[in-house]
Amino acid sequence: MGQAIAAYLHFLAIFVLFALLTLEHRLFKLPLDLERARSLIRVDIAYGLSAGAVLATGLARVVWYGKGLDYYLHNSLFHAKVGLFVLIALLSAFPTFVFLNWRNELKAGQVPQVSPGKARAVIMVIRLELLLALVMPLLAALMARGYGVFGG
């Protein structure tokens, strides 16, 4: 039963993460208004929390409920998935820093000013995150079917 619950929580966290990233993409468009800017910050915080939940539930599956730590450590697709997760996390820092720089303006009740170039960069990073996130289920499906095992 624990294995099924851990898998369910992991999948749920992944769906929430993807939904929040999609929402972030939809909300970020110029010209910004005050409410959308505030929403973007809240969505980005929730996105970070959901990434933490994906990581925590994934670790639980690897350590306690999956095929065993040894299986995952000897699977190249697992390493690729973890690497992709880290890459997405690193990419997500750029939009987060842009949004965090709005704090003073928002506290003063002002709409944050974002240059068109920076806005395009944020949108492209979010799109890249979404694209990379779509590769992860493929890697997981292949890994679950025994692909990627090395040393055996």
The pLDDT score that the predictor gives to residue 16 is 98
What is the greatest pairwise CA distance in the chain? 61
**Tens-digit pLDDT profile for residues 12-30:** 999 999 999 999 999 999 9
Q: Which has the closest alpha carbon to 41: 95, 93, 99, 98? A: 99
Q: Is the pLDDT of residue 152 over 60?
A: no
pTM: 0.91
Distance of CA 147 to the CA centre of its chain: 24
**Residue 112, token pair as written in the block:** 């944050």
Q: Are 84 and 139 in contact (CB under 8 A)?
A: yes
C-alpha to C-alpha distances, 40 to 28, 88, 100, 103, nearest whole angstrom? 7, 18, 10, 12
**Tens-digit pLDDT profile for residues 90-123:** 999 999 999 999 999 999 999 999 999 999 999 9
